[in-house]
Amino acid sequence: MPRPRKASAPSLPAASVESSPDPVVANVPEAMAAAIEDFGNVLTLERGRSSHTLSGYESDLRQGAAWLAACRGVRDWREVTTAQARDWLYSLGGDRFAVASLARKLSALRGFARHLVREEIRPDDFTALLQGPKRVRRVPGTLTGGEIGRLLAAPQGGDAFALRDRALLELFYSSGLRVSELAGLTLQQVDLDNGFLRVFGKGAKERVVPVGGRAAEALGAYLVAGRPAFVKSRTGSALFLSERGGPLSRKTLWVIVQKYAAKAGIERGVKPHQLRHSFASHLLGGGADLRSIQEMLGHANLATTQIYTAVEDKRLVEQHAKFHPRNRE
């Protein structure tokens, strides 16, 4: 198949071509489905991608295959043209998908197209001339020091639930974990004697994350007097346990954070990942360097961590406006 002529990279507008068929209902041609499955095996076995990433990529690619089959009559990935791929992405425009979702779908398609070239299924990358929607990085929402203090103090008492929830919130803020990382922690990953966790983040990459003094104290109390109360006959090595003895789900973590945010009198909505953002923002405000924060957060690129400088810049502007004498009436 000849390589497409180089031209200006087409961007993805908001306009729609055809509405995309439901990827669950639509039939994906057998050859296209088999290629997607092979790509999934490569992601899992050779590149160590997480099941979450794999599921998202496969879902996006199956959706694209279903649309190409239904709307363009394509039966094999070797038939797909750049124009057809662009048409599918156009069809997702408007208000149906957020910019981040569109960017993820294009990322999945690009990775898959490169896989087809490597496997010599195609001679060319049909996504080379595609240009995705521009992603505007939003400044992460963070909590103030006072709000964090009230939130962490909200779990009161010495019962197993209070001990668990206090340790969970302290560790969340102390170590800046992702929700999935916190939910997936095991006893083997915790080293309280040396004050750190071994965390397996995106792509199964391991990193060492410090545990602060108060978090270590709360976690120690939970391990001694809290966790044993949740242990059942089939309980595994999960660190934070539910009432049934299994690991806490991400949904339950969300409910716990919401519960104590309300109890702490924080009127604005609080989401679990705001503790991670607050961790990074407060470290930066306290003088920590970006490279160290990057390592603790597990960001692959420093550019991802630099978004927190915008939070700090905003705080400095607000402090100047509030306290500089020439800004007062």
Known active-site residue 308: yes
State the pLDDT at residue 292.
Answer: 86
Give residue for tokens 């949904």.
Answer: 251
31 is written with which tokens? 């050859």
Of 79, 104, 136, the domain-final residue: 136
- The C-alpha atoms of residue 294 and residue 207 are separated, in whole angstroms, by 11
Q: 18 and 94 in one domain?
A: yes
Residue 329 inside a domain? The answer is no
- The C-alpha atoms of residue 120 and residue 310 are separated, in whole angstroms, by 44
Helices assigned H by DSSP within 80-178:
82-91, 99-118, 145-153, 160-175
CATH of the domain at 55: 1.10.150.130
What residues have CB less than 8 Å from 52, skipping those under 6 apart?
Answer: 180
Known active-site residue 276: yes
Q: 286 and 158 in one domain?
A: yes
Of 136, 159, 184, the domain-final residue: 136
- Determine the 3-state secondary structure of 196 from DSSP: strand
Q: 237 and 160 in one domain?
A: yes
State the pLDDT at residue 10.
Answer: 43
Known active-site residue 234: no
Residue 8's φ and ψ, nearest 5 degrees, are -65, 140
Known active-site residue 49: no
Q: 152 and 102 in one domain?
A: no
Among residues 115, 178, 227, 282, which one is catalytic?
Answer: 178
Q: 164 and 107 in one domain?
A: no
Known active-site residue 299: yes
Question: CA dist 28 to 21, 24, 116, Å?
Answer: 11, 9, 18
Q: 319 and 220 in one domain?
A: yes
State the pLDDT at residue 200.
Answer: 84
Q: 151 and 77 in one domain?
A: no
- The C-alpha atoms of residue 125 and residue 8 are separated, in whole angstroms, by 16
Residue 156 inside a domain? The answer is yes
Domain that holds residue 276: 145-323
Residue 12 inside a domain? The answer is yes
State the pLDDT at residue 15.
Answer: 39
State the pLDDT at residue 203.
Answer: 66
- Picking from 187, 189, 94, 167, the residue whose alpha carbon sits closest to that of residue 133 is 94
Going residue by residue through the chain (329 aa), what tens digit of pLDDT does each one get?
444 443 444 444 443 445 444 444 458 999 999 999 999 988 887 777 777 778 889 999 999 999 999 999 999 999 999 999 999 988 887 556 677 788 889 999 999 999 999 999 999 999 998 887 665 555 567 889 999 999 999 999 999 999 999 999 999 999 989 898 999 999 999 999 999 999 887 766 788 888 989 999 999 999 999 999 999 999 999 999 999 999 999 999 999 999 999 999 998 888 888 898 888 888 888 888 888 888 888 887 777 777 776 655 555 556 556 655 655 55
The angle, 0 to 180 degrees and rounded to 10, between the axes of the packed helices 160-175 and 145-153 is 160
Known active-site residue 273: yes
Q: What is the 8-class DSSP label of residue 215?
A: H
CATH of the domain at 194: 1.10.443.10
Q: 314 and 166 in one domain?
A: yes
Among residues 86, 115, 276, 282, which one is catalytic?
Answer: 276
Overall domain count for the chain: 2
Q: 212 and 129 in one domain?
A: no
State the pLDDT at residue 256.
Answer: 95
150 is written with which tokens? 């009230």
- The C-alpha atoms of residue 180 and residue 269 are separated, in whole angstroms, by 20
Q: 3 and 128 in one domain?
A: yes
- The C-alpha atoms of residue 30 and residue 277 are separated, in whole angstroms, by 44
Among residues 104, 207, 273, 315, which one is catalytic?
Answer: 273
Among residues 72, 202, 271, 315, which one is catalytic?
Answer: 202
State the pLDDT at residue 27.
Answer: 82
Q: 239 and 212 in one domain?
A: yes
Residue 328 inside a domain? The answer is no
- Picking from 223, 174, 222, the residue whose alpha carbon sits closest to that of residue 195 is 174
Among residues 57, 173, 260, 308, which one is catalytic?
Answer: 308
Of 111, 136, 161, the domain-final residue: 136
